[in-house]
Amino acid sequence: MLERAWGFESLRPHAPSTIVTVRTLTTPDGRALRVYEAGAPDGRPIVAIYGTPSGGTIYPPHAADALAQGIRLVTFDRAGYGGSDPQPGRAVAAVVEDVRAIADSLGLDRFGVWGVSGGGPHALACGALLSARVPAVASLAAVAPYGAPGLDWTEGMGEENIVEFNATLEGREAITPYELAHRKAFAKATPDDLRTQWASLLSPVDAAVATAELAAFLLANTNEALAPGVDGWVDDDLAFVAPWGFDVADLEVPVLLLHGEQDRFVPQSHGRWLAERIPGVEARLSAEDGHLTLIEHRVPEVHAWLVEHV
């Protein structure tokens, strides 16, 4: 295990500085897995899974909230992103063994899990397949399974995401060049460039929170995640449109689901579909939220809910 630590400060005035510890673990099948940790070292453990494409770099306000709520916040680079080795052909459910390896290494017997956007299905997988150790999960703006009955999967998505998933459906050979071109553009982009690139995805409420701070974080996180290539992004997209390896109807742990009506990245119809099929779900389907607003504003309430259940 390799370990290092650094401090960072939010761009927000008066936000406390937070120490993030970064470790590289070795999974049982011999892959490197980069893990990040912030918040209260002896606090309630919560594993967070960020979206697609992104690594595990922790958004400073999330780390600060974890510290304030007494949470030991753990994130990681999914296979193929950042410091984690690829796992070609992985299903969504494959994340469970990586989360198990992280928990074993860090001595986490019970822990909550939340995932946002592309991280949402991975969080649900942990609730379905690791329920002995994961007593509750939260899903924020998650995609539903592709081909879900009664759901037009791309209806309401911004053009940027429609193009991406149409290429994904054509297979690895089609989606890889698309994502390589975007990786090159991300590497040169400024926060303003990112907002311009996402014009079709940003509803007014998301445009309002796509500030220099959040845009800079998303850009830096994405660039670090894609530094070794696009394997993680390609495998994420292919996993979303293939069988996930579990059925959301089989979830037996408490699930909190958040989804905004003004989300153009992942339309709220996905959240409604999931809410209708996850047993006993607590669904907070808001009219005022988009996609980025959940990242910017709703994580503290997710943390508070998970603390009550862990």
Comparing C-alpha atoms, which of 215, 291, 219 is closest to residue 11? 215
Is pLDDT at 9 greater than 70 in this prediction? no
- Whole-number Cα distances in Å, 297 to 18, 115, 163, 194, 210: 19, 15, 28, 20, 12
Predicted pLDDT of residue 28:
96
Q: Where are the beta strands (DSSP E) in the chain?
A: 2-8, 18-26, 32-39, 44-49, 71-76, 112-116, 137-140, 255-260, 282-286
Q: How far apart are CA 155 and CA 60, in angstroms?
A: 33
Better-predicted residue by pLDDT, 65 or 5: 65
- pLDDT at residue 219 tops 50: yes
How far is it, in rounded angstroms, from Cα 192 to Cα 210? 9
pTM of the model: 0.94
The two tokens of residue 136 are 């509750």
Mean pLDDT over 205-210 rounds to 95
Q: With a cut of 80, say whether residue 97 has pLDDT above it.
A: yes
Between residues 4 and 115, the one the model is more confident about? 115
Amino acid (one-letter) located at 283: A
Q: How many domains does the chain have?
A: 1
Q: How far apart are CA 228 and CA 81, in angstroms?
A: 7
Render pLDDT for 186-203 as a digit per residue (tens, 0 to 9). Answer: 999 999 999 998 999 999
Q: What percent of the chain has pLDDT over 90?
A: 93
What CATH number is attached to the domain comprising 189? 3.40.50.1820
Mean pLDDT of 30-58: 97
Quickly state the pLDDT bin for 17 (edges 50, 70, 90).
Answer: low
Asked whether 251 and 283 are in contact (CB, 8 A), the reply is: no
Neighbours of 151 (CB within 10 A): 17
Domain ranges, residue 263:
2-309
d(CA 62, CA 132): 26
pLDDT band, very low/low/confident/very high, at 25 (cuts 50, 70, 90): very high
Count of all residues that appear for the chain in the document: 310
The answer to whether 115 and 49 are in contact (CB under 8 A) is yes
Task: Answer whether residue 35 shows pLDDT above 60.
Answer: yes
pLDDT for 16 beyond 50: no
Over range 110-131, report the average pLDDT: 98
**Residue 212 pLDDT:** 87
Which of the four pLDDT bands, split at 50, 70 and 90, describes residue 230? very high
Those residues with Cβ within 8 angstroms of residue 135's Cβ, 6 or more apart along the chain or in another chain: 110, 112, 253, 254, 309, 310
Q: Per residue in 239-259, pLDDT tens?
A: 999 999 999 999 999 999 999
Rg (CA), the chain: 18
- Write out the two tokens for 69: 């709520």
| Cβ within 8 Å of residue 188, ≥6 positions away | none
Q: Helix or strand or coil: residue 105? A: helix
Residue 310 to residue 299: CA distance in whole angstroms: 16
Res 4: pLDDT: 39
Residue range 267-290, pLDDT digits in tens:
999 999 999 999 999 999 999 999
What mean pLDDT do residues 79-93 have? 98
